[in-house]
């Protein structure tokens, strides 16, 4: 099985879906000739032409709006927000239109739109290129929010998102793009939306997380295994709506839960995970549920040392797991 990078898995998934279904098309800033600022749509313009790989103006509201309209008419648009930080001008389209159309039209209309958006920090991106935006959309019924952690999941989940008949926001971690590599089958497969995945079986501490943090947890788990601490890691993969069953099962497995996100702490996706555990797992808990997240500060700083201080670090993950194991 070929080993490819996270971003190559993005390109492969879009390519395969465009090839499979002529209704699939790509739109976004610089996605055409340039192949995207991160090169996620590299080669697609040459392969499928300017009618199916469309460069748009710098207007996120329009990218989302055009996508919604096209989707309502039976197309399957894959819209790219160049950075998730720039999604907010499109928030009205996404929250008030895309998410509500099926409900509002009593099932007559639907919006099979996929919005891809690179997110996350630790890439020296400063205030406007480092944010985690998932929590802003993760309380809007009608939306699905997917955040894959591995190239395998990227391909399978992106294909599932494109084929899904309702709007999906697909967040891709910028730092994972070239850092994370993994085996990805060349065959056509999908990974179901709404299903979390156990990335590592363990018995001492459960870590529930998503995105790049899955890898921090895996790294920490490897180190801790040498100390005899066994870590169970659940990758949420879809952060809205959450896979409650998998969360409850993972929390019950060890009774000691560390929730991990790169986002700022209050009101983050993991806060909702904590609430699910509190509602369902009281008599299985052996320690207070713990959250590790970025500080509740307005933004990721630009200065290197400050960015480093702001980001959740692998050593912190390791220390928190150890602390819980020893509790």
Question: Taking CB under 8 A as the rule, does residue 38 contact another protein?
Answer: yes
Q: Interacting stretch for another protein, rule CB under 8 A, among 122-130, 183-191, 216-224, 231-239?
A: 122-130
**The only residue of 103, 128, 189, 327 in contact with another protein, by rule CB under 8 A:** 327
Residue 175 binds another protein (CB under 8 A): yes
Closest CB 121 distance from another protein, rounded Å: 10
Please answer whether residues 123 and 83 qualify as being in contact, where contact means their C-beta atoms are separated by less than 8 angstroms: no
Using rule CB under 8 A, residue 232 touches another protein: no
Counting contacts by CB under 8 A, is residue 322 touching another protein?
no
Asked if residue 282 binds another protein (CB under 8 A), the reply is: yes
**Nearest distance in Å: CB 114, another protein:** 21
Nearer to another protein, 21 or 326 (CB): 326
Q: Which stretch binds another protein (CB under 8 A): 48-56, 106-114, 119-127, 134-142?
A: 119-127
Phi-psi region of 267 (alpha: psi -120 to 50; beta: other; left: phi over 0): left
User: Which is it for strands 197-200 and 231-235: parallel, antiparallel or unpaired?
Assistant: antiparallel
Q: Which stretch binds another protein (CB under 8 A): 73-81, 219-227, 235-243, 285-293?
A: 285-293
Q: Which of 125, 151, 156, 211 binds another protein (CB under 8 A)?
A: 125
Least spacing, CB of residue 202 vs another protein, in Å: 12
DSSP labels for 163-215?
Answer: HSSS-EEEEEETTHHHH-EEE--SS-----TT--EEEE--SSEEEEE-TTHHH
Q: Identify which of residues 95 and 248 has a Cβ nearer to another protein in the complex.
A: 248
Give residues with Cβ within 8 angstroms of 168, minimum separation 6. 113, 114, 115, 143, 144, 145, 146, 161, 193
Question: Which candidate in 124, 129, 173, 308 is catalytic?
Answer: 129
Helices 213-226 and 314-326, axial angle in degrees (round to 10)? 50
Q: How far apart are CA 207 and CA 217, in angstroms?
A: 7
In the annotation, is 129 catalytic? Answer: yes
Which of 255, 267, 291, 299 is in the footprint of another protein by CB under 8 A?
A: 255
Judge whether 91 and 133 are in contact, CB under 8 Å. Answer: no
- Residue nearer to another protein on the CB measure, 282 or 298: 282
Strands (E), 50-96: 53-55, 76-80
| Contact status: 286 vs another protein (CB under 8 A) | yes
Nearer to another protein, 179 or 198 (CB): 179
Choose which of 48, 86, 177, 240 interacts with another protein (CB under 8 A): 177
Contacts of residue 140, defined as CB under 8 A and 6 or more positions apart, other chains included, come to 94, 95, 99, 240
How far is the CA of 151 from the CAs of 167, 242, 280, in angstroms? 22, 21, 32
Catalytic residue numbers, as ranges: 129
């Amino acid at each position: 099985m070929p080993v490819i990078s996270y971003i190559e898995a993005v390109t492969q998934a879009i390519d395969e879906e465009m090839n499979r279904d002529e209704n699939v098309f790509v739109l976004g800033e610089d996605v055409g000739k340039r192949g995207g600022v991160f090169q996620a749509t590299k080669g697609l313009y040459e392969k499928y032409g300017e009618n199916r790989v469309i460069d748009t103006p710098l207007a996120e509201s329009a990218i989302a709006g055009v996508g919604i309209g096209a989707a309502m008419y039976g197309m399957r648009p894959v819209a790219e927000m160049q950075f998730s930080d720039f999604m907010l001008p499109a928030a009205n389209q996404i929250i008030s239109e895309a998410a509500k159309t099926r409900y509002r039209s009593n099932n007559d209309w639907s919006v099979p739109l996929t919005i891809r958006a690179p997110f996350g920090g630790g890439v020296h991106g400063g205030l406007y290129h480092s944010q985690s935006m998932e929590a802003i959309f993760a309380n809007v019924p009608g939306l699905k929010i997917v955040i894959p952690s591995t190239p395998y999941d990227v391909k399978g989940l992106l294909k599932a998102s494109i084929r899904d008949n309702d709007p999906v926001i697909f967040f891709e971690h910028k730092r994972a793009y070239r850092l994370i590599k993994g085996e990805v089958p060349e065959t056509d497969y999908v990974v179901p939306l709404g299903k979390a995945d156990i990335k590592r079986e363990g018995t001492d501490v459960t870590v529930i997380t998503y995105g790049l943090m899955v890898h921090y947890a895996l790294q920490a788990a490897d180190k801790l295994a040498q100390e005899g601490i066994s870590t169970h890691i659940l990758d949420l993969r879809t952060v809205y709506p959450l896979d409650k069953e998998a969360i409850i099962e993972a929390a019950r497995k060890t009774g000691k839960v560390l929730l991990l996100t790169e986002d700022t702490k209050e009101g983050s996706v993991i806060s909702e995970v904590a609430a699910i555990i509190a509602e369902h797992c009281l008599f299985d808990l052996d320690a207070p549920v713990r959250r590790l997240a970025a500080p509740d500060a307005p933004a990721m700083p630009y200065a290197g040392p400050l960015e480093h201080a702001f980001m959740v670090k692998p050593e912190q993950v390791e220390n928190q797991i150890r602390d819980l194991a020893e509790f």
